[in-house]
Amino acid sequence: MTDSIFGQLAIVNQKAKDDPTILRLSLDAKATVKVGNFSRGGRTRAEVEGEDHDFKPKEKITPYGIFLPELDQLFYYFTTSKVTSDFMVDVLEDWWLEHRKRFPQVKTLLLNQDNGPENHSRRTQFMKRIVEFSQRHCINIRLAYYPPYHSKYNPIERTWGILENHWNGSILDEIDTVLNFARTMKWKGHNPVVKLVTEIYKTGVKLTKQAMANVENQIQRLTCLEVHDEQLDLGKWFVDIIYNLDLKME
């Protein structure tokens, strides 16, 4: 099954590369960062003495990234709230509202993600919000997920190591310190665009079965793929949200 998912990912991603009307985005969150005077090992560039015990942090902050693989452009959104379905779609909408004028030819956004608990294609609130996003902005959405334990192949993952190396054991004593390190790291010679999201998000938001059934009526799943004379259901991994009804999953 994993080989089949990767095979289909290769097809979908290559199609985006070849088709100027499709824009590929790679999205994911990094592990939550504790903010405080904690010694993290390694050298430090800040004149702040680190505590040698893991006391309660001042804050916890989570980076969430949007990466454009074909353009090598990187955008980081940081939140002290939970990374929920609503947060993810709000971030996507913020990014699209700011940048859509750069892509007047784009009719479809291809979203590469891992199949995490808040953004997988059976997560009712995520699917509701992403369908609403598609309809509101008159843009098709194609969801193409990486299988479990293989999210390292999602292009955004390569950027987290650069960020980690950039602060390299430095004491992240304030949220501004974290943000400044993110703003000054370089990816392919350029700094990422960095934003702090201050809204607090509720967890556990779910749809009723009837409401989710209505959402399912507005999407297409890749339900049948023939591999070595075997029919595979990849509907969990590849989903089209159709604004333009002429769009079909290939």
Query: What φ, ψ does residue 51 adopt, rounded to 5°?
Result: -75, 145
Is the residue at 248 inside a domain?
no
Residue 249's pLDDT band, with cuts at 50, 70 and 90, is very low
Is the residue at 20 inside a domain?
yes
Is the residue at 250 inside a domain?
no
- Predicted local confidence at residue 192, as pLDDT: 98
- Predicted local confidence at residue 38, as pLDDT: 77
- Predicted local confidence at residue 2, as pLDDT: 85
The whole-chain average pLDDT of the chain stands at 89
Q: Is it the case that residue 185 has pLDDT exceeding 90? A: yes
For the chain, the domain total comes to 1
pLDDT tens-digit map of 71-91: 999 999 999 999 999 999 999
Domain that holds residue 14: 2-241
Is the residue at 151 inside a domain?
yes
Is the residue at 197 inside a domain?
yes
CATH number, domain containing residue 131: 3.30.420.10
Q: Is it the case that residue 228 has pLDDT exceeding 60? A: no
CB 134 within 8 A of CB 241: yes
Is the residue at 98 inside a domain?
yes
Residue 42's pLDDT band, with cuts at 50, 70 and 90, is very low
Nearest-angstrom CA–CA distance, 207 and 85: 12
Q: Is it the case that residue 242 has pLDDT exceeding 60? A: yes
For residue 229, is it left (φ>0), alpha (ψ between -120 and 50) or beta? left
**R_g (Cα) of the chain, nearest Å:** 19
pLDDT tens-digit map of 105-121: 999 999 999 989 999 99
- What is the percent of the chain where pLDDT is above 90? 74
pLDDT tens-digit map of 187-226: 999 999 999 999 999 999 999 999 999 999 999 998 765 5
Nearest-angstrom CA–CA distance, 32 and 79: 9
Nearest-angstrom CA–CA distance, 108 and 141: 6
Is the residue at 179 inside a domain?
yes
Is the residue at 80 inside a domain?
yes
